[in-house]
Amino acid sequence: MKYLAALGLSALIFLVADTASVAGLPPVWKADSVRISQDMRSKAYIAPAKVLWKSSPETSVITGEEALLSPGDGQAVLGAAGVCRMVSREGRMASLLLDFGRELQGGVRIVTGQYPSGRPVRVRIRFGESASEAMSEIDGVNGACNDHAIRDMELLLPWLGTLETGSSGFRFVRIDLLDRDVELQLKEVSAGLVYQDIPYAGSFRSSDSRLDSIWMTGAYTVHLNLQDYLTEGVKRDRLVWVGDLHPEVMTVCSVFGLNSAVSRSLDLSRDTNPLPAWMNGISSYSIWWLIIQKDWYMYSGDREYLESQEAYIKGLLDLLMSKIGSDGTEHLDGTRFLDWPSSPNTAAVDAGLQSLMAMAMDAGEYLCGVLGDRQTADECARMHRLLMAASDRAAGLLDTGGFDPAAPGSKQAVSLMALSGILSPEDAYGRCLSADGASGFSTFYGYYMLEAMAAAGKYGEAMDVIKDYWGGMLDLGATSFWEDFDLSWKENGARIDSLVPPGKKDVHRDYGGYCYKGYRHSLCHGWASGPTAWLSRHVLGIRILEPGCRTISVEPHLGGLQWVEGSFPTPYGTVSVRHEKDASGRVHTWVDAPDRIKIIKR
């Protein structure tokens, strides 16, 4: 629980459910016929940070709302003095909008007082990731909806009782009285934050506080999604989408270390998408599953887990190789997808998928080599050579005009081309990635754009993009990173933590595309956490050289920073580093690492 304090959460009342063991269950629940589902998560109850809005300033309608900002204990009591009274009479309906100060995953606990009627009272509860979403109607136009999570509901509150409801991503809660001529007393309204109570073993601090905030916001975004499984979003989609997992897993490695939710999510995807089905129906997502297996093995060194994936890995590689033509061109079917913003640019999607196929064969060769399947490893190597030969011809399209790297969506494809070796990183940067700074970035593939910039040696430029693009969300009040974002949204845009003033744009309602238009847009999406992993890898300079982090290189790239320090979790313990520039610009490095880890300074 102490880790929440580091995030600035006002955790006023904590009730932690230790569900890792069922040893404490009453004997009647230990019969062999009882099937018990365990939950690895904890719950913290958090009081509102402020009352952001109320329907009337008149004390005859609402009074005592400041009592809701005090710590609660979840217990109704007779004659409670400190209560919020909401009264609806003569057509004046009482409503409150509460701000809990930060994006949360969970629900709300409401404790009522001893109001005169002694009967249940009907209320409407609305959760919102932005203030305006909590004030919205589900009208089929603005995007507000109940789908993956019910965020707009009517219910009965008990008299002198406690009720918990909701399982969504939110920061704001609106409560409306629905009955006329009634009084409701609220002793407590607390957000129930459901989370894994795990340490932030990784850390990042520097001479630039904006970068520090971005690192922590990415870490917190993934923490909210790190439930029993590693999901994409906490409002929507509350699902395991495998492509999204890759940047999330890289953040987990950089912040939390080994976590069983990662392997459970990979196994869930494997088991619910039996071959020859593509994971989530998307061919590139099956490729990302393969790449995650390689990266997770490099981090964890868990050979037993890798061996349990051998049959599926071999079958998936056979399926992928069957989609490579004799000329080395990929012919992937299923949904052909990189990320949403690149979707209209079919040439970019084609180039990106060719690159991903080359990366898949490279990962397959490595994994099969570890598993001792030399025959499949050699076939992967042969297919990789075939793909790269065709890719050399495809890269020529950049010069003939067949694929315009400056077109919308192209930064995604060009980044994959650079990371797969189809293009040199220097060409990728000069021809595309350098254009207009953070313009054309996306929250998901922004991670690979940053990786391609690092491969080109453009570390300072990448940090500028991070501060402009991801920092742009912070400027609009974000406390977790969003499903999508464009820098143009900042122009005349209102912050999400305030009601939208006249003449300002509502960035939650007015923007978004594809499946996330308007308020359906997720403001806590794990795929947007890329800067956290990137800063740990390239600025702290920590790179894994041997499986299980047995050997790590430390090669910092400070750009314009004067100093940076932080930590990186490994299976053997935490590696701590600090880098400082002296007056001549030379960087001095200090490293503290567990004895079983070999450190190579560069």
Question: What whole-number distance in Å separates Cα of residue 54 and Cα of residue 98?
Answer: 9
Pull the structure tokens for residue 274: 């039996």
Per the model's pLDDT, the better-predicted residue between 25 and 265 turns out to be: 265
Query: Residue 74: is its pLDDT beyond 50?
Result: yes
Average pLDDT, the chain: 93
Average pLDDT value for residue range 344-367: 96
* 40 confidence band (pLDDT: 50, 70, 90): confident
Question: What whole-number distance in Å separates Cα of residue 54 and Cα of residue 96?
Answer: 4
* 18 confidence band (pLDDT: 50, 70, 90): very low
Query: Residue 381: is its pLDDT beyond 90?
Result: yes
Within-domain flag for 485: no
- Is residue 497 within 8 Å of 114, Cβ to Cβ? no
Query: Residue 395: is its pLDDT beyond 70?
Result: no
Class of residue 149 by CB neighbours under 10 A (exposed 0-12, middle 13-18, buried 19+): buried
The string of DSSP codes covering 203-248 is EEEES-HHHHHHHHHHHHHHHHHBSSSB-SBSSS--S--HHHHHHH
Question: What whole-number distance in Å separates Cα of residue 122 and Cα of residue 115?
Answer: 14
Within-domain flag for 51: yes
Average pLDDT value for residue range 363-388: 98
Q: What is the DSSP letter of 433?
A: I
Within-domain flag for 590: yes
* 80 confidence band (pLDDT: 50, 70, 90): confident
Tens of pLDDT along 554-587? 999 999 999 999 999 999 999 999 999 999 999 9
The residue type at 364: G
Average pLDDT value for residue range 253-268: 97
pLDDT at 30: 61
pLDDT at 19: 36
Global pTM value: 0.94
* C-alpha pair distances (Å), 180 with each of 72, 123, 176: 28, 11, 11
* 15 confidence band (pLDDT: 50, 70, 90): very low
Burial code of 354-381, b = ≥16 C-beta within 10 A, e = fewer? bbbbbbbbbbbbbbbebbebeebbebbb
Helix axes 446-455, 410-420, angle to 10 degrees: 50
Question: What whole-number distance in Å separates Cα of residue 238 and Cα of residue 194?
Answer: 14
Question: What whole-number distance in Å separates Cα of residue 523 and Cα of residue 170?
Answer: 9
pLDDT at 357: 98
Pull the structure tokens for residue 501: 């003033």
Tens of pLDDT along 416-429? 999 999 999 999 99
SS3 384: helix
Per the model's pLDDT, the better-predicted residue between 573 and 79 turns out to be: 573
Within-domain flag for 562: yes
Average pLDDT value for residue range 475-500: 97
Average pLDDT value for residue range 511-524: 96
Helix (H) or strand (E) segment spanning residue 201: none
Within-domain flag for 438: no
Helix (H) or strand (E) segment spanning residue 348: helix 346-371
pLDDT at 397: 63
Report the 3 state secondary structure along 67-91.
HHHCCCCCCCCCCCCCCEEEEEECC
Per the model's pLDDT, the better-predicted residue between 56 and 26 turns out to be: 56
Q: Which residues contact 239 (CB under 8 A, 6 or more apart)?
A: 148, 231, 232
Within-domain flag for 20: yes
Q: How many distinct structural domains can be found in the chain?
A: 2
Q: In angstroms, how far is CA 243 from the centroid of its own chain?
A: 12
SS3 percent helix, strand, coil of the chain, rounded to 5, is 35, 20, 40
Tens of pLDDT along 431-447? 999 999 999 999 999 99
Within-domain flag for 25: yes
Choosing from 137, 167, 195, the residue where a domain stops is 195
Pull the structure tokens for residue 503: 């003449």
Choosing from 195, 228, 262, the residue where a domain stops is 195
Within-domain flag for 466: no
Choosing from 173, 195, 217, the residue where a domain stops is 195
Q: What is the DSSP letter of 119?
A: S
Q: Which residues contact 312 (CB under 8 A, 6 or more apart)?
A: 270, 275
Pull the structure tokens for residue 252: 């987990």
pLDDT at 36: 64
Question: What whole-number distance in Å separates Cα of residue 493 and Cα of residue 171?
Answer: 19
Residue 36's domain comprises: 2-195
Query: Residue 23: is its pLDDT beyond 60?
Result: no
Query: Residue 341: is its pLDDT beyond 90?
Result: yes
Query: What's the CATH code of the domain at 156?
Result: 2.60.120.260
Average pLDDT value for residue range 99-104: 98
pLDDT at 362: 98
Pull the structure tokens for residue 574: 């935490």
Tens of pLDDT along 123-151? 999 999 999 999 999 999 999 999 999 99
Query: Residue 183: is its pLDDT beyond 70?
Result: yes
